Every structure is written in C-alpha cells, then in structure tokens.
C-alpha cells in the first residue's frame, strides 16, 4: 500500500497526452501517452538507471552529454533506435503491450547505451550488443529480487539456484557462462543464467572501487572493436577477483601448495564459487545443516605444523583433534598465533548461518581465547577453561543434531504435500511459450480458440 498510493498520485498528475519525466541521474524519458502502462515503463526505467549508477559507480548529471529515452507506439516492437549527437544520445523504443520488459536483446542494448552515456568522453560501441549478456541478466535478476524478497530488506536474499548448487558442491564453469548466447536459452535456463550472472555482477561491484573500477572498465573494453572477452575479463574483473581471494585467505583455506598449481582461470572459478556460497546463504535463509556440519567437522581435524627445537616449522604437519586443543596448545611455541588463527576460522563458520548458531560460535571462540598458553602454576577451579572449551564444542554439535532432525521432518512433510504442478512447472511454462514464428494476430487467435475450447 505504501508504494501504490504514491504511484496513483503520480499517475493522476501525468497529463493525458505526452509527458517528460527525469530519472534521479538526469536521464529524460519522453512519453507519447499517459496510462498505467506508461507508468510501469517509467518505474522500470528509473529502477534500471538506479542499478547502473549503483553497480558501475557512474553518473551523468554533470556530464555535457545528455541521454534521452523516447517511448513511441509508432516504432517497430522489439527494436531500439539510437541517434547519437555530440551533446545528446537518444534511445527510442516501443513499450506497447509491455513486451520490452522481457525482451532480452532490447534491454541488453538499452542498458549498454545507458552505461556508456554516463562515461566521460565515451564513444559509440562497435556493436549494439556489446554488453556481455550475463551483465544485463544479473541486473534483471537484481531488479526482480528488489520487487520480491529484497523489497523491504536488502539482506533478505532468496537464491534457489545458488543454494542448490552449493548443496550439491558443484558449480558450472563461470568462464563458459560468460560466453553463452542467452537469447537461445529457454525460460527455465534463463532463470539459472540470471542468478549465476547476478553472482558474477555483485562480486564485480563488490571488488571494484572508485579508483579501480574494474566492472566499468570491463564494459568499456567490451565496447571496443576487436576486443577479446577473456583478455578483457582477466585484465579487469579477473585481476580484482584474485586480489580479493588473497585478502580473504582463500589460498590458505584451499592449501597454498594446491592453490599455486592452479591456473588463473581455475583460481577465479574457485573464488567465484566461494562468493556464490556467501551470496546464497544468509540469516534469513541459512545454509542447510549438512553443509554447516561438514564445515564444523573439517575444523575439528586440525593440521598443525611440526616445530623444531627452536620453535620453527619444519615443513611437516601432524593431525590433531580440536577437542584435545587445551592440552596441545600449552606445549607449542606458536600458541598465540595458533589461537588467533583458530578464532578467525571458528567465527568464519558463522557466515551463512542464523543468529543463534553465530552466538554458539562466538561462545566457542571466547572459550578458545581463555585457554592458558602455558601450563598453569596451580590447578584451575572447576569448570576449568579446557572443560568450558569442550562444553562449547558439545553445544554446537547438539545444536546441529537438533536442527538436522527438524530439517528432515520438514523435508518429509513438504514431499508428502507437493502437488503435480511443482514437478511439471517448467514443462508447462515451456509449452505455453509463444512461438517466435507466430505474429501477434496469430497468437491472439490461438488464445481465443483456446479460451473458447476451455469454456465449452
């Protein structure tokens, strides 16, 4: 209701004939009519402009170049007409019927031209479809989520594709994803493509900075004639992805020896998979218990460096159990560094989990930091620091067992109550997709015949 009232007031204020409105970043939108349909067009264009300004860190408000979008029912549907003048770029298309909202090719060209219009001294692209498809797919996915689960709270993300891939532990090759031809994908495949594209896009925006805007640089290079996508990617986004991986400790988590043997493409793939997992799970939609349990059990198996008589690592490692850490840590010269490293690893398990589980991890980290690093001069009063540490481990395991039983019960109930439409939804959607060979008049005829047949 809070959104509907302002929209109705705005619609009432529109004149009955042509009108011009302006987005926050100064893009003029010329309308040849005023209706509920034109209002939806305005809202969509404003949302698209906000996404571009936010993601690519660009603004056209102070540039001498003006961008204007013209909406006209006289233009051929599905086409974007571009007129480039020294001081104004005009982008014109037909919004009748609302088909442009799902026209991937038109939206790709529109977004690409909007991005370049906000870049100082930008040149026209060598090809109208220069913008990589995964970028507009990612933008569309962000806009869809902004109208649904993320409407009131940005962290309220629901990403079924990324969740399913994370639970399986396998991801598609993101390099192949970048080179797909999205126009050939079916609607179900386009949904996968959009969610994976959003992961790429969000990570590119996170890793870019005002002084090193890799995401924008990637798009600018893509607009150049003769540019090679993989070279553009490695020089911009791939470079900042590898930098962020090193900052977040992914090489150490993977294993330095294994990481050093990987190619740059393989390192980028693992970096994107790690970010996709962080994006898929949050405190509103926490990760399933099996994933959390596997990560916690991996933490329980410690690989400790073997030290020589001077307290220096020999290059060899020995295995130990986290449960035995209170006694082990008192015998090591690197006790303080080991304590800090384990604390960070424990708290890192909280990412993608809910608040109560994070508090249990915080209790374990606090118990770890209270462990004495040298043998105490006299026995501690019960419960000792070691006992409190083991009790914190036990509470986490008990919590995981309790949640596993709840999830198993809920999954069983869901499977018992699923309707056939859940299993055949994609097939039904595909069967209802209109053929690209049919004209609009033929589609309306078939729809009328179908309605009459159903009524009979």
User: Does residue 128 lie in a domain region?
Assistant: no
User: Does residue 258 lie in a domain region?
Assistant: yes
371/254 same-domain check: no
Consecutive H or E run containing 454: helix 440-455
110/149 same-domain check: no
The pLDDT value recorded for residue 15 is 44
Contact 51, 33 (CB under 8 A): no
Other CB atoms within 10 Å distance of the CB of residue 277: 21
Tell me whether strands 66-71 and 81-84 are parallel, antiparallel or unpaired. unpaired
The pLDDT value recorded for residue 151 is 59
Q: Which of 258, 280, 302 is the last residue of a domain?
A: 280
User: Does residue 256 lie in a domain region?
Assistant: yes
143/43 same-domain check: no
User: Does residue 124 lie in a domain region?
Assistant: no
The pLDDT value recorded for residue 397 is 94
157/90 same-domain check: no
pLDDT tens across 169-204, in order?
Answer: 889 999 999 999 888 888 778 889 999 999 999 999
270/298 same-domain check: no
111/137 same-domain check: no
What's the predicted TM-score (pTM) here?
A: 0.77
User: Does residue 102 lie in a domain region?
Assistant: yes
End-to-end CA distance of the chain: 39
User: Does residue 323 lie in a domain region?
Assistant: yes
SS3 content of the chain, % helix, strand, coil (to 5): 60, 10, 30
Distance separating alpha carbons of residues 370 and 347, to the nearest angstrom? 16
Range of the domain at 188: 133-280
> Could you tell me how far CA 120 lies from the centroid of its own chain?
28
- Beta partners for 22? 28
260/172 same-domain check: yes
Q: Which of 256, 280, 304 is the last residue of a domain?
A: 280
409/317 same-domain check: yes
Tokens representing 41 are 């067009």
The pLDDT value recorded for residue 213 is 95
How many residues are there in the chain?
456
315/185 same-domain check: no
Look at the chain and report how many structural domains it folds into: 4
Q: Which of 280, 305, 338 is the last residue of a domain?
A: 280
H runs (alpha helix) in 248-328 = 250-254, 256-261, 264-280, 289-300, 325-328
User: Does residue 166 lie in a domain region?
Assistant: yes
Give the CATH number, domain containing residue 11. 3.30.2010
Contact 134, 237 (CB under 8 A): no
Judged by DSSP in three states, 237 sits in: helix
Contact 92, 70 (CB under 8 A): yes
User: Does residue 396 lie in a domain region?
Assistant: yes
Complete DSSP assignment for 137-184: HHHHHHHHHHHTTTSS-TT----HHHHHHHHHT----HHHHHT--GGG
158/258 same-domain check: yes
Tokens representing 261 are 């043997």
Contact 141, 194 (CB under 8 A): yes
Tokens representing 436 are 């690209």
Q: Is 243 exposed, middle or buried (0-12, 13-18, 19+ CB in 10 A)?
A: middle
Distance separating alpha carbons of residues 290 and 179, to the nearest angstrom? 33
228/101 same-domain check: no
Contact 129, 105 (CB under 8 A): yes
337/395 same-domain check: yes
> HSE on the CB side for 309, CA within 13 Å?
0
The pLDDT value recorded for residue 12 is 46
pLDDT-flagged residues of the chain (< 50):
9-16
């Amino acid at each position: 209701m809070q959104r509907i009232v302002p929209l109705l007031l705005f619609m009432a204020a529109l004149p009955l004939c042509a009108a011009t409105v302006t987005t926050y970043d100064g893009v003029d939108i010329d309308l040849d009519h005023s209706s509920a349909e034109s209002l939806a067009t305005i809202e969509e264009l404003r949302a698209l402009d906000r996404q571009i300004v936010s993601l690519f860190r660009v603004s056209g408000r102070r540039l001498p170049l003006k961008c204007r979008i013209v909406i006209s029912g006289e233009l051929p549907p599905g086409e974007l007409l571009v007129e480039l003048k020294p001081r104004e770029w005009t982008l014109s298309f037909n919004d009748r019927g609302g088909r442009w909202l799902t026209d991937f090719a038109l939206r790709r060209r529109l977004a690409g031209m909007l991005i370049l219009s906000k870049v100082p001294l930008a040149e026209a692209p060598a090809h109208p479809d220069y913008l990589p498809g995964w970028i507009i797919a990612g933008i569309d996915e962000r806009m869809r989520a902004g109208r649904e689960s993320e409407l009131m709270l940005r962290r309220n993300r629901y990403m079924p594709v990324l969740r399913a891939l994370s639970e399986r532990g396998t991801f598609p090759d993101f390099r192949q994803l970048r080179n797909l031809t999205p126009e050939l994908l079916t609607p179900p495949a386009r949904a996968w493509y959009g969610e994976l594209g959003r992961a790429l896009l969000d990570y590119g925006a996170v890793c870019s900075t005002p002084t090193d805007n890799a995401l924008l640089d990637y798009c600018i290079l893509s607009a150049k004639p003769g540019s090679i996508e993989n070279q553009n990617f490695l020089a911009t986004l791939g470079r900042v992805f590898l930098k962020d991986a090193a900052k977040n400790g992914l090489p150490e988590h993977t294993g330095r020896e294994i990481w050093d043997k990987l190619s740059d493409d393989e390192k980028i793939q693992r970096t994107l998979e790690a970010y996709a997992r962080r994006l898929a799970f949050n405190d509103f939609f926490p990760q399933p218990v099996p994933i959390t349990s596997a990560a916690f059990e991996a933490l329980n198996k410690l690989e400790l460096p073997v030290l020589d008589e001077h307290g220096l690592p020999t290059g060899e490692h020995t295995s130990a159990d986290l449960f035995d850490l209170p006694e082990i840590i008192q015998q090591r010269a690197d006790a303080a560094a080991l304590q800090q490293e384990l604390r960070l690893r424990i708290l890192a398990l909280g990412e993608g989990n809910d608040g109560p589980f994070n508090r249990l991890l915080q209790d374990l980290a606090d118990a770890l930091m209270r462990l004495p690093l040298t043998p105490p001069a006299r026995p501690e009063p019960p419960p000792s620091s070691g006992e409190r540490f083991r009790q914190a481990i036990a509470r986490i395991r008990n919590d995981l067992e309790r949640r596993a039983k709840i999830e198993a019960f809920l999954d069983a109930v869901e499977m018992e109550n699923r309707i056939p439409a859940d299993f055949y939804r994609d097939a039904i959607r595909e069967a209802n997709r209109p053929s690209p060979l049919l004209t609009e008049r033929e589609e309306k005829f078939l729809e009328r015949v179908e309605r009459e047949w159903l009524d009979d």
